[in-house]
Amino acid sequence: GQNIDQPTEMTATEGAIVQINCTYQTSGFNGLFWYQQHAGEAPTFLSYNVLDGLEEKGRFSSFLSRSKGYSYLLLKELQMKDSASYLCAVKTDSWGKLQFGAGTQVVVTP
């Protein structure tokens, strides 16, 4: 079966760094995506990894290790607006189908 695991909730202080881990066991792998979802809104694309290593994009970085079935999303210099759910999603085949994890709710406190 397909399994994508991420922590349910994380809390961090404004200005701090938070790392959200995602482990996956899927029948196929064609890339891993991170999406941000504010309550009641659509997921919005943050990052994509298909090769091992770190991808940096401003305050957000994402890392992938295919051999370990592991990724993380690093959020630096946290702002209040970063309070949201962060979704790890694996593209399991050559089409656009994504398998999503349950999401990690990040709460940023003043």
- Residues found near other proteins in the complex (CB under 8 A): 30-31, 33, 40-45, 48, 50, 87, 89, 91, 93-103
Least Å from the CB of residue 63 to other proteins = 16
Nearer to other proteins, 39 or 80 (CB): 39
Q: Is residue 105 a contact partner of residue 45, using CB atoms and an 8 Å limit?
A: no
Minimum CB separation of residue 19 from other proteins in Å reads: 21
Provide, rounded to whole angstroms, the least separation between the CB of residue 56 and other proteins.
Answer: 15
Q: With CA atoms as reference, report the closest residue to 4 among 97, 107, 106, 102.
A: 102
Q: Is 61 exposed, middle or buried (0-12, 13-18, 19+ CB in 10 A)?
A: middle
